[in-house]
Amino acid sequence: MSPRYLTKSRFKTATECPTKLFYTQKPKEYANLNNDNTFLESLAEGGYQIGSLAKLLYPNGIEVEGYVHDKVESDTLEHLKKEKVVLFEAAIRFEDFFIRIDVLVKNGNDFEIHEVKAKSFDPKDPGIWRRIGNGLTKDLLPYLQDVAFQKWVLQKAIPNANIRSYLLMTDKTKNAEIDGMNQMFRISVDKKIIENIPDAIDKTKLARSILVDYAVDDAVEYILTHDIETPGRRYTFEEATHTWAKHYKEDKKIPPILNSDCRDCEFNAKDTTVLKSGFRECWKEVTKFTDSELDEGTVLDIFKFRKKDKLIQQGVYKLHDVGRDFIGDFEDEPGVEGISTQQRQWYQISSIPENYDLGGFCFDRSLVAYEMSSWKYPLHFIDFETSAVALPFYEGLHPYEQVAFQFSHHVMEKDGSIRHADEFLCVEPGEFPNYKLVTALKDALEKDNGSIFMWSSYENTILTAIGDQLKKDKKKPSNAEDLITFIHSVTRGGDREMIDLCKISEKSFYHKDTKGSSSIKKVLPALFKISKFLQDTYSKPIYGANQGIPSKNFSGNNGYAWYNKDEAFHDPYIRLKDIAKEIAGSNSNAVIIAEGGSAATAYARLQFEDMDAKEREQYKGSLLRYCELDTLAMAMVVEAWKEFIEKD
């Protein structure tokens, strides 16, 4: 059995919630949403690239390789016998604590800890380390606590060491000085990092061009000499480390203290028939609720509610036990501006007012009808998939600039007919997609003057960012001015400004199953439960069929259905997974993408991993199907709304 050490990652987990330590490292017992995500997160966030770039700052650095505790510790100690040495992944142990330091620099009795983080940082921002009240700002607190823990362990292991601490991150104020940084570190088939830097390039200078090594001694000292606050508890640093290490080593649970952060607990299993839910164990232990009582809803479910912790501290846990006075002063019925946030919260807690209740949901026909009266046909529904790429594609770009690599476009004619009209996907390694995407989008949307729709303001934000890139780019394309003009026309304030369907939905539609959310992933399944039009239309295999709704990625003689009344769920995004398996046929390793985070990870894999042509095509096909469903979903929402408006 492996030693149960308190490591950097477990220390971070404990700072979030000490009880979580009991559930970690038990993959066969407790569900953990973060399991197996370390590599993929590093890939998507650029962690491995920034880590590899950071090593170039130390040409003579030595990698401490391996994972066996005793071996890597002994190798580290052997290297530290040298007067001067730079180690990557140095392994330091003290009692029940074990850390791997990204970069450890030793010069006699002077040591430097350099913690590498895949984060963009402005070193000129004087407020980044500012103390507020009795603590530090939260922006970088988890990173600073990480470094503080490493210094504490190293100091315990080498008591006479003089230790300086640094965070090593990308500098958001710096521009790439050369083209091609994006592809200088790739991932081999066996998950090894392949360096691909031309011989003529000074590697150390390359690393310095966008990295900043920021001294954090003052912040680290503050953390080490002040209490650590976790939900409901305060510890001295020394007390926290020893308490957490002892409980983890002995596999004893630290009693849970419930709080609003429980909502995002990674140990909240949705299906408890396979693995246990740490979240449920904590809540049942404190509240004495049964599973069925938890299923009825807790205060954690209240939409955009900031007083969850206050309720929990008062022992109010159940959703339906929340008093109206906690929500504030509001009218019972929606006004001319539609459903307010407070009304939405109260609908969750209590119920929809009787004269607005249409059977478990409410819908403001007048508001939506008014919005629709200004729409111009044909209607255009667009959705983007994006990623923030760590290393810039070209000279002049910053680290972590947004990259828009995909869009889908559905069209609805005045007669109600729908078609998947256009799509764009650019995932070729090293190819900057932003300007090509806008060019393709411009071509798709300028065929008429119909209204353009997005779900939330995200597409507006991305297009505005691309417009800014075009303005400052020294190597801008020949059609840059046309693209900038187009972007201005469809973004906020433009004469063809995109319409946000999410805002309309939030003001006009509420269904108990959405739990107050206006995410399309919540709204669409709710609409399928109550819309006879959607049920009747999409229970037939017409999507992609020869005489059905035209599709670019679901085409076939038989077509596909998005609804099955006999299934327990009515969610096209779940249905997408079944359709993807059907399309894949006998391929049990088929790539299935059904949410945005997976799309961004897929893009990272297509950019930086070496994979064969067949696997690349599987990823591309899955991306295209997922994004197509996003814009079809928007059209489906409008179809349901039209049905509700036309009802007597």
At which residue do the structure tokens 């709704």 appear?
549
Q: How many CB atoms lie within 10 A of CB 273?
A: 5
Helix axes 480-490, 458-472, angle to 10 degrees: 150
Q: Which residues of the chain have pLDDT under 70?
A: 1, 36-42, 44, 126-137, 585-590, 596, 648
Contact 559, 542 (CB under 8 A): yes
The DSSP symbol for 560 reads B
Contact 147, 113 (CB under 8 A): yes
pTM of the model: 0.92
Condensed to tens digits (0 to 9), the pLDDT of residues 135-185 reads: 566 778 899 999 999 999 999 999 999 999 999 999 988 989 998 999 999
Report, in angstroms and rounded to the nearest whole number, the Rg of the chain calculated over CA atoms: 27
Instruction: In whole angstroms, give the CA distance from residue 629 to residue 418.
Output: 13
Instruction: In whole angstroms, give the CA distance from residue 67 to residue 73.
Output: 10
pLDDT at 132 (0 to 100): 47
CA-nearest of 425, 377, 378, 433 to 402 is 433
Condensed to tens digits (0 to 9), the pLDDT of residues 534-549 reads: 999 999 999 999 889 9
pLDDT at 122 (0 to 100): 81
The DSSP symbol for 276 reads B
pLDDT at 40 (0 to 100): 64
Instruction: In whole angstroms, give the CA distance from residue 643 to residue 635.
Output: 13
Residue type, 615: E
Instruction: In whole angstroms, give the CA distance from residue 127 to residue 219.
Output: 12
The DSSP symbol for 590 reads -
CA-nearest of 454, 425, 442, 452 to 484 is 442
CA-nearest of 434, 422, 536 to 477 is 434
**Tokens at 55, concatenated:** 């090593």
**Tokens at 305, concatenated:** 């509610």
pLDDT at 84 (0 to 100): 97
Cβ-based burial of 523 (10 A; exposed 0-12, middle 13-18, buried ≥19): buried
Residue type, 404: A
Q: Tell me the sheet residues that pair with 213.
A: 168
